Amino acid sequence: MDLSHKMFSEIPSVIRHHGNAGNINWLMTTYSAWAHVVALVGVFKIMDCSKETLMWAFLLWPISGLGITVGAHRLWSHRSYSASFPVRVFLMLCNSIANQGSILHWARDHRVHHKHSETDADPHNAMRGFFFAHIGWLFLKKNPEVIRAGKELDFSDLHEDPVVMFQRMLDPWFALYMCFVFPAQIAVKFWGENFWPAFFVAGGLRYVYVLHCTFLVNSAAHLHGDHPYDVLSYPSENPYVSFFAIGEGWHNWHHKYPFDYATSEFGISSQYNPSKLFIDVLAAVGLVWGRKRGTAACEMGMVRRDRDREAGVPLPKPAPRPWKAHAAVKHD
């Protein structure tokens, strides 16, 4: 596992290296440090909050999470289903509470990630280790390969969606308001909470928690888990990540069939996936439609694999992961 003492002990020299090379994105690094301080203050403010505020902060985990999973990810990045205007507005508002950059930028980075996974053109290339894939990538200026790859993709569908462009136009101020201030205003208005405890807990602490839940998809789900659908790829099936990221941990399936709205092979009774349930409920009342699935493509792949096996064609074998190869060298 890459989450080791060595990784943490090397952080100062990595920072020195990038500082000397002029690679650090100071705006994002400063903002991220500020957000984590606000979240830390939130930890100490938990005892000052009413139980309604704590429940509100807890509910904002799935509410803001849906803005990422069902919105920025499955709808806007992958177009795995179509959504009516009111649903798109609702998802945009949830997405703004999550405050992970505008939908336009999130979807752009994500499409590049899928097309160039585990290469220099992947914005959060997991080959560079857990810390980089998790959050370190945000502290650095983008690799020129990432910028070049972004220029080669088509984002006209995003530019044509007025909901996406409205949020982009008000970025980052609207998202900052929705993330930190709006949750506190709700708590003040509806159950008479004091503003600042709600700001720090339902705003800052909840925000940073959901941020790390999302980051786990890029770090843990790219480094740890099973690979039943594509043994050669890094993305893996990770049920723990699915719990934190409300259904986004079935990542080996997702990278193999990115157009699948469920981002998992099975239904919600066997694979934890509240985001799929939410889309299914919206489809049942006619607010979304055109849900695509990867199951037919998967079945075809299995038929092909069985045919190859009978013909004596060797099954693909993955190269050892870098950290496993290092461990093997050390043992020899």
Quick note: the x/- pattern for Zn ion over 160-179, rule CB under 5 A, is --------------------
Min dist CB 77 to Zn ion, Å, is: 6
Alpha helices in 21-102 (DSSP H): 26-45, 51-66, 85-98
When the beta carbons of 31 and 240 are compared against Zn ion, the nearer one is: 240
Closest distance to Zn ion from the beta carbon of 172 (Å) = 23
Separation between Cα atoms, residue 71 and residue 103, nearest integer Å = 8
| Position of minimal CB gap to Zn ion | 235
- Name 283's Cβ contacts closer than 8 Å, sequence gap at least 6: 81, 289, 291
Burial of 106 (0-12, 13-18, 19+ CB in 10 A): buried
Region for residue 244 given its phi and psi (left: phi exceeds 0; alpha: psi -120 to 50; beta: otherwise):
alpha
Beta carbon of residue 250, minimum distance to Zn ion (angstroms, whole number): 11
Cβ proximity to Zn ion: between 175 and 217 the closer is 217
Round to whole Å and give the CA distance between 45 and 26.
28
Q: Least distance to Zn ion from the beta carbon of 315, Å?
A: 23
Rounded Cα gap, residues 163 and 92, in angstroms: 7
CA distance 201 to 282: 30
Cis peptide bond prior to 62, omega within 30° of 0: no
CB of 45 or CB of 256, closer to Zn ion: 256
Q: Which is nearer to Zn ion, 183 or 235 (CB)?
A: 235
Tokens of 243: 């719990």
- Binding to Zn ion by CB under 5 A, coded x per residue (else -) over 37-76, reads ----------------------------------------
Give the separation between CA 259 and CA 40, rounded to whole angstroms: 38
Q: How far is the CB of 282 from Zn ion (least distance, A)?
A: 19
Place of tokens 């703004």: 96
Q: How far is the CB of 117 from Zn ion (least distance, A)?
A: 6
Q: What six digits make up the tokens of 54?
A: 């704590």
Closer residue to Zn ion, CB minimum distance, 146 or 184: 146
Cα separation of 135 and 215, whole Å? 7
Smaller CB distance to Zn ion: residue 90 or 261? 261
Number of chain residues interacting with Zn ion (CB under 5 A):
1
220-279 residues in contact with Zn ion (CB under 5 A) are 235
- Pattern 194-223, Zn ion, x by CB under 5 A: ------------------------------
Report, in Å, the least distance between residue 321 CB and Zn ion: 16
- Minimum CB separation from Zn ion for residue 204, in Å? 27
Q: Which is nearer to Zn ion, 225 or 235 (CB)?
A: 235
Q: Which C-beta is closer to Zn ion: that of 235 or that of 247? A: 235
Separation in Å, CA 298 to CA 57, 96, 115, 259, 273: 39, 34, 19, 12, 19
| Tokens 């092909």 belong to residue | 304
User: Residue numbers of the site for Zn ion (CB under 5 A)?
Assistant: 235
